[in-house]
Amino acid sequence: MDKSMVSILSNRQTKSMVEKVAAIILTACAIVSVIAVISITVYMFISGTPALFQVGITDILFSSVWTPTAEVPSYGILYVILTSIIGVFFAICIAVPIGILTAINLAEIAKPKIRGVVKSAIELLAGIPSVVYGLLGILIINPFMYQLELIIFKDSSTHQFTGGSNLISAILVLAIMILPTLINITETALQTVPDHYRKSSLALGASQMQTIFKVVLPAAKNGIMSAIVLGVGRAIGEAMAILLVAGNSVNLPLPFSSVRFLTTAIVSEMSYASGTHRDVLFTIGLVLFVFIICMNLILTFILKGGKDDG
Amino acid sequence: MGNKIVAEQLNLYYGEKHALKDVSLDIVENKITAFIGPSGCGKSTFLKTLNRMNDYVNNVKVSGSVLLDDENIYDSRVDTTILRKKVGMVFQQPNPFPMSIYDNIAYGPRIHGIKNKKQLDIIVEKSLKAAALYDEVADRLHSSALGLSGGQQQRLCIARCLAVEPEVILLDEPTSALDPISTLKIEELLMELKKKYTIAIVTHNMQQASRIADFTAFFLVGEMVEYGKTKDIFSLPQDKRTEDYITGRFG
Amino acid sequence: MDRSLYEKKNRFIDTVLNIFIQLSTFISVVLLIIIIGYICYRGIPYFSLDYLVNTTSILKNTIGILPNIVNTIYMIVVTLLIACPIGIGGAIYLNEYATNKKFVTMISFTTEVLAGIPSIIYGLFGMLFFGGVLKLDYSILTGALTLSIMILPIISRNAQIALQAVPKSYREAALGMGSTKWYMIRTVLLPSAIPGILTGVILAMGRIVAESAALLFTAGSLAVLPKNIFGHLFSSGGTLTIQLYLEMAKAHYDQAFVIALILIVIVLCLNFVAKWISRKFDVNKRG
């Protein structure tokens, strides 16, 4: 009966050492995301603010003249900010109805087989690299836009022809790119709507469409709002897909003008910019970052509101 | 006093499973008919066939006929939305929509085309009064229905069902999730409602059936074993299995 | 009020809505078909094995993307080596150790924020911090470090979901037999959560392969074969996606489409594997 002699206190020290070290390491892992967010925030501000003071806040944010390499350089990014806002707004306007209706089909109507096919298609759309969207934008959407341009501005003497690289092309590419995000999150939101809402609506003599649009959609509105906010975030942060498609010159965002977004402004000039010019690019990064953080705060707010309801 | 619903030779399959076997049963107008039996006996399934809520279960197949005022509800020409307007249903769990009390009641009438605010006000008030809920919620019609107690929610669901002016009300164990006092209130309400409506109720509570039902049907593994006046079923059951069940020997 | 059941109500709006719903779905699917079809149409004719196993060199007059393939593999391996332990470890902490609710909320919030930050911002941060402050310059390591922050949310979120799905009884059984917590995690929890964790890792691989904006200013675009296995980490290296961008910017569309074709095939394979894993190991669905 040797075993009964083993003290329950034995080995306690080495064991608890392992336990303690494991706990510490795991905690450290968890903190990495906090550290990352803090350092990204700090670096975006450190690198983005100097130009604001050097050039002047109004001269950057509210001036529309962008001539960073001129003898007397001007660093106004108003048009760039406007382009991002307007571009994202219209991309959302196109993608939201299509995305929500497709999600409704997937979650409420489609038979399992069709659902499987559409789901796989959307997963694949989500996985396609953004440069590939850009490539297709240049070779499919731009030529089409050019044809339109030729027809519309046939008699115009002032229009600068862009070869189809314009705001509309960029909006279309963005709309396609955020579609999977919208569909997936909306579908999940619809699936979490309890089935008894549907049943009691149907039992009152409502048709399937009435049930979907009057009960299920309102019940899922928080989830749908999150989908839209995340979609906005994705669209505003997208760079490579629209870099060449949008034409990339700083202009007032008109449908058939070549335009530059916040993101594409950074990508297209970072490689050769220096001095104040480079600092201003970081300021653009900061503006973008602030947009994204606002989106996140809105999202948190929406999700919190949802919890209070239930 | 006529038969409101006549089910004839009703068979129902869930895939391979034969869930209802040759059920024939008449539901009498302005009476309460109770379906009793152990869990899984088919009583709820049968109830759902009466307004075709079974349509939403995968792989379900129904044969036989259910006549509502001499029209077969399984006829291919049937518009289920009209059917369900005539045959309303209240579920086991109180399930108000996540909307205000007012909007919950007004949902049905709006679906069926009533847009007029005054008309809706009248319907909401009438339905809430009929469901004996009006006095408790009159001052907060526009607050969320999810804030009500379980018993109140269930009466709200009954009021919601009444608002579309059905002819028949089906109730699927409406009190099983409620406390005794709320249960009593609902039972009183049903006794009141049968003056205007035809009521069918599924219950696993035999006392409840004996208290409120005029007729009772006993189901066992998909078969309807016995059907008759409640008094007779409980005092003089004809079938040995019914007797065993109501004397508590199984179930 | 006394309507026959047999007169069907005609709901014009329902029909219209249904048409719109079907149309939207159709658009989503057709978009994918057009995209894939066009890439195949433009990419396949120019696809050749030579292109895969050669290096682009003016001297030897060859073109090829072998260095980019090697760089992509480097990028995937190094990024996952950094991000997986951190992401999975963090998920274990949140699921098994954390007791302070505020701390958990803070970590989940920052994870959400990380998931929402666009890759161009990661690129800027990586260039400033890993490239500048840590003096790693344009290198595969800079790129991998940047990407590992970017994919951290994907890995930790999937790991967390997988850990949450492990039944409580497993934990109780192991702890009840006298196992210590860390031992229980190692021997019971992690093995049962592996399929879910793997799904996250594969999704993360997809992101790494597809990434361009975050790499442009961190890993750069050099396309040379490694001379030294570890030394290569410190040299600039462009992945396939970066190469695609360069070809596109130079209007070499044929080469761009060949790379696009390769990327699509990789994405397809990754999606397929992720699905296969979740189907094969999904205990809940089998039961």
- C285 min Cα distance to partner chain B (Å): 17
Residue A39 pLDDT greater than 60, yes or no: yes
Q: Do B84 and A203 touch (CB under 8 A)?
A: yes
Q: What is the pLDDT of residue C231?
A: 87
* Across A51-64, average pLDDT: 90
Mean pLDDT of chain B: 91
Q: What is the pLDDT of residue C83?
A: 97
Contact B201, B183 (CB under 8 A): no
CA C215, C220, C223, C224 torsion-angle sign: negative
* Across C36-44, average pLDDT: 94
ipTM, two decimals, is: 0.90
Q: Do C5 and B81 touch (CB under 8 A)?
A: no
- A187 min Cα distance to partner chain B (Å): 19
Domains annotated for chain B, with CATH where assigned, are 29-53+79-246 (3.40.50.300)
Contact C155, C200 (CB under 8 A): yes
Question: Per residue, what are the HEC states of A84-143?
Answer: HHHHHHHHHHHHHHHHHHHHHHHHHHCCHHHHHHHHHHHHHHHHCCHHHHHHHHHHHHHH
- B99 min Cα distance to partner chain C (Å): 23
In tens, the pLDDT along A174-193 reads: 999 999 999 999 999 999 99
Share of chain C above pLDDT 70, in %: 97
Question: C-chain residues within 8 Å CB-CB of B73?
Answer: 5
Quick one: CA torsion of B230, B233, B235, B236, rounded to 10 degrees?
140
Q: What is the pLDDT of residue C268?
A: 93
Task: Say whether B251 sits in a helix, a strand or coil.
Answer: coil
* Across A222-243, average pLDDT: 93
Q: What is the pLDDT of residue C5?
A: 80
* Across A63-82, average pLDDT: 90
Residue C286 pLDDT greater than 50, yes or no: no
B20 closest CA partner among B3, B5, B6, B8: B8
Task: Say whether A3 sits in a helix, a strand or coil.
Answer: helix
Q: Is C8 on the interface with B (CB under 8 A)?
A: yes
Residue B26 pLDDT greater than 80, yes or no: yes
In tens, the pLDDT along C94-136 reads: 998 988 889 999 999 999 999 999 999 999 999 999 998 998 8
Question: CA nearest A195 in B: which residue?
Answer: B95
Spatial distance between the Cα atoms of A298 and C112, rounded to a whole number of angstroms? 12
**Where are chain C's structural domains?**
65-286
In tens, the pLDDT along A121-162 reads: 999 999 999 999 999 999 999 999 999 999 988 888 888 888
A127 closest CA partner among C212, C238, C266: C266
Q: What is the pLDDT of residue B35?
A: 95
In terms of pTM, does the model score above 0.95? Answer: no
Share of chain C above pLDDT 90, in %: 62
In tens, the pLDDT along B130-179 reads: 998 999 999 999 999 999 999 999 999 999 999 999 999 999 999 988 89
CA B182, B183, B186, B192 torsion-angle sign: negative
Question: C-chain residues within 8 Å CB-CB of A109?
Answer: 18, 21
What are the DSSP calls for chain C, one per residue? ----TTS----HHHHHHHHHHHHHHHHHHHHHHHHHHHHHHHHGGG--HHHHH-EEETTTTEEEEHHHHHHHHHHHHHHHHHHHHHHHHHHHIIIII---HHHHHHHHHHHHHHHHS-HHHHHHHHIIIIIIIT---SSHHHHHHHHHHHHHHHHHHHHHHHHHTS-HHHHHHHHHTT--HHHHIIIIIHHHHHHHHHHHHHHHHHHHHH--HHHHTTT-------SSTTGGGGS----HHHHHHHHHHTT-HHHHHHHHHHHHHHHHHHHHHHHHHHHHH-HHHH-
Spatial distance between the Cα atoms of C137 and C132, rounded to a whole number of angstroms? 6
* Across B67-87, average pLDDT: 90
Spatial distance between the Cα atoms of A227 and A102, rounded to a whole number of angstroms? 13
Contact B150, B179 (CB under 8 A): yes
Rounded to the nearest 5 degrees, what angle is found at the Cα of C224, between the Cα atoms of C219 and C227? 100
Contact C65, C243 (CB under 8 A): yes
CATH of domain C65-286: 1.10.3720.10
Query: Within the 107-166 window of chain A, which residues sit less than 8 Å (CB to CB) from chain C?
Result: 109-110, 117-118, 120-125, 127-132, 134-136, 138-140
From residue B40, alpha-carbon distances to A200, B61, B118, B204 in Å are: 22, 18, 45, 11
- A234 min Cα distance to partner chain C (Å): 7
Question: CA nearest C247 in A: which residue?
Answer: A135
Residue A76 pLDDT greater than 50, yes or no: yes
Q: How many CB pairs under 8 A join A and B?
A: 67
B222 or A8: which leads in pLDDT: B222
Q: What is the pLDDT of residue C6?
A: 80
Q: Do C180 and A237 touch (CB under 8 A)?
A: no
Q: Is B99 on the interface with A (CB under 8 A)?
A: yes
From residue C236, alpha-carbon distances to A187, A263, C65, C67, C276 in Å are: 41, 23, 15, 11, 35
Q: Give the single-character DSSP code of B144.
A: B
> What kind and span of H or E run contains A301?
helix A275-309
Question: A-chain residues within 8 Å CB-CB of B56?
Answer: 199, 202
Residue A113 pLDDT greater than 60, yes or no: yes
Q: How confident is the model at residue C283 (pLDDT cuts 50, 70, 90)?
A: low
Contact C241, C267 (CB under 8 A): no
Q: What is the pLDDT of residue C186?
A: 87
Collect all residues with Cβ–Cβ distance below 8 Å to A19 and sequence separation of at least 6.
C180, C181, C182
From residue C203, alpha-carbon distances to C76, C156, C164, C207 in Å are: 12, 12, 19, 7
Q: What is the pLDDT of residue A1?
A: 45
Question: A-chain residues within 8 Å CB-CB of C264?
Answer: 128, 132
Q: What is the pLDDT of residue B189?
A: 92
Q: Where are the beta strands (DSSP E) in chain A?
A: 66-67, 74-75
Q: What is the pLDDT of residue B163?
A: 94
Q: Is A42 on the interface with C (CB under 8 A)?
A: no
Collect all residues with Cβ–Cβ distance below 8 Å to B248 and sequence separation of at least 6.
none
Residue C260 pLDDT greater than 50, yes or no: yes
Q: What is the pLDDT of residue A302?
A: 83
* Across B43-72, average pLDDT: 90
Mean pLDDT of chain C: 90
Residue A310 pLDDT greater than 60, yes or no: no
Domains annotated for chain A, with CATH where assigned, are 87-260+302-309 (1.10.3720.10)
Q: Is C61 on the interface with B (CB under 8 A)?
A: no
Task: Say whether A277 sits in a helix, a strand or coil.
Answer: helix
Tokens of B11: 């068979």
